[in-house]
Amino acid sequence: MSLQDKSLHCSDCGVTFTFTAGEQEFFRTKGFTEEPKRCSACRAKRKTQRQGDGGRDFNSRSW
């Protein structure tokens, strides 16, 4: 059975984004069974925020 592109709604910004067959395949190889809840832009944003939190933690210690 071949995978097909899916249209999903981002839970953060509400935009409709495409979960492509290639990405589904990638998710599967990574062992993820759930579909992504966020578009790539919001995922990138959260990744940056997480790194920012680590930086803040580091800064608060040095203050």
With binding defined as CB under 5 A, does residue 19 bind Zn ion?
A: no
Of 1-9, 18-26, 34-42, 52-60, the window that binds Zn ion (rule: CB under 5 A) is 34-42
Tell me how far, at minimum, the Cβ of 43 lies from Zn ion, in Å: 8
Nearest to 45 by CA among 12, 16, 23, 14: 12
Residue 12 and residue 28 in contact, taking contact as beta carbons nearer than 8 Å: no
Give me the residue label for tokens 């997480």. Answer: 50
49: amino acid identity, one letter: Q
Contact flag: residue 23 with Zn ion (CB under 5 A)? no
Using rule CB under 5 A, residue 12 touches Zn ion: yes
Does residue 39 touch Zn ion according to CB under 5 A? yes
